[in-house]
Structure 1
Amino acid sequence: MDEDRSTEKDREKLPPLNALRNFEAVARHGSFAAAAADLHVTHWAVGKQIRLLEDWFGVPLFERRARSVALTDEGAALLNDVNSAFERLTSAAARLRHDEVTRRVSGIVRVNVLASFALCWLLPRLADFHARYPDIDVRISTTSRKLRYIGDAFDIGVRSGHEQGTALVSRALMADVRLPACSPALLRTHPIQDVADLRHHTLLHSTSTRTAWSHWLREARAPHLRPARHLEFDHAYLQLAAAVEGLGVTLASLPMIGRELAAGRLVCPIAAPSWRAADYTLVINADRAGDDAVQAFEQWITMMASRESGQLEPV
Structure 2
Amino acid sequence: MGRKSPSSAQPAEREPGRGQVPPLNALRSFEAVATHGSFAAAAATLNVTHWAVGKQIRLLEQWFGKPLFERRARGVQLTAEGATLLADVSDAFDRLASGAGRLRDRRPVARVAGTVKVNALVSFALSWLLPRLPDFHRRYPDVDVRVSTTSRRLRYVGDAFDIGVRSGPEQGAGLVSRRLMADERLPACSPALLRDHPIGQVEDLRRHTLLHSASTRGAWAQWLREAGVPRLLPERQMEFEHVFLQQAAAVEGLGVALVSLPLVQRDLAAGRLVCPLRATTWRAPDYTLVLNTERESDAAVSALRDWMLEAAAQEQGQLAPG
Residue 274 of structure 2 contacts residue 321 of structure 2 at CA under 8 Å; is this kept in 1?
Answer: no
Alignment-derived partner of residue 272 in structure 2: 265
In the alignment, structure 1 residue 197 sits paired with structure 2 residue 207: no
Choose which of 138, 148, 151 in structure 1 pairs with 2:158: 151
CA distance in 2, matches of 1:193, 1:83: 33
More helix by share: 1
**Offset, 1:85:** 11
**Offset, 1:272:** 1.4
Distance 1:145 1:85, change over 3 A: closer
Choose which of 203, 207, 218 in structure 2 pairs with 1:211: 218
In the alignment, structure 1 residue 233 sits paired with structure 2 residue 240: yes
Calculate the TM-score normalised by the size of structure 1.
0.72
CA distance in 1, matches of 2:97, 2:316: 24
Identity %: 61
The ranges of structure 1 where at least 4 consecutive aligned residues each deviate by more than 4 angstroms after the TM superposition are: 10-17, 55-58, 82-91
Choose which of 92, 95, 98 in structure 1 pairs with 2:108: 98
In the alignment, structure 1 residue 170 sits paired with structure 2 residue 177: yes
Residue 113 of structure 2 contacts residue 300 of structure 2 at CA under 8 Å; is this kept in 1?
Answer: yes
- Counterparts of 1:238-257 in structure 2 under 5 Å? 238-257=245-264
CA distance in 1, matches of 2:105, 2:232: 56
- Structure 2, unmatched stretches of 5+, are 1-17, 29-34, 37-41, 43-56, 66-87
Give the 3-state SS of the residue equivalent to 2:254 in structure 1: coil
Choose which of 113, 125, 136 in structure 1 pairs with 2:132: 125
**Offset, 1:172:** 1.2
Alignment-derived partner of residue 296 in structure 1: 303
**Offset, 1:88:** 9.3
CA distance in 2, matches of 1:238, 1:109: 27
Q: What is the Cα-based RMSD across aligned positions, in Å?
A: 3.5
Distance 1:84 1:57, change over 3 A: farther
Distance 1:141 1:85, change over 3 A: closer
Larger radius of gyration: 2
Distance 1:14 1:299, change over 3 A: farther
Any idea what the Cα deviations from partners look like across 1:31-89, whole Å, max 9, x if unmatched? xxxxxxxxxxxxx68xx9xxx9xx9999xxxxxxxxxxxxxxxx8xx99xx98997699
Give the 3-state SS of the residue equivalent to 1:227 in structure 2: coil
Residue 177 of structure 1 contacts residue 312 of structure 1 at CA under 8 Å; is this kept in 2?
Answer: no
**Offset, 1:313:** 5.6
Choose which of 140, 149, 152 in structure 2 pairs with 1:142: 149
Alignment-derived partner of residue 84 in structure 2: none
**Offset, 1:189:** 1.1
**Offset, 1:229:** 1.1
Alignment-derived partner of residue 314 in structure 1: 321
CA distance in 1, matches of 2:64, 2:301: 43
CA distance in 1, matches of 2:209, 2:98: 47
Residue 219 of structure 1 contacts residue 273 of structure 1 at CA under 8 Å; is this kept in 2?
Answer: yes
User: Match of 1:269, as an amino acid?
Assistant: P
User: Match of 1:233, as an amino acid?
Assistant: F
Distance 1:181 1:83, change over 3 A: closer
**Offset, 1:256:** 0.5
User: Match of 2:283, as an amino acid?
Assistant: R
Q: Which moved further from structure 2: 82-91 or 147-156?
A: 82-91
CA distance in 2, matches of 1:247, 1:83: 37
Aligned residue pairs, count: 256
Give the 3-state SS of the residue equivalent to 1:196 in structure 2: helix
Alignment-derived partner of residue 179 in structure 1: 186
CA distance in 2, matches of 1:88, 1:228: 48
Residue 169 of structure 1 contacts residue 284 of structure 1 at CA under 8 Å; is this kept in 2?
Answer: yes
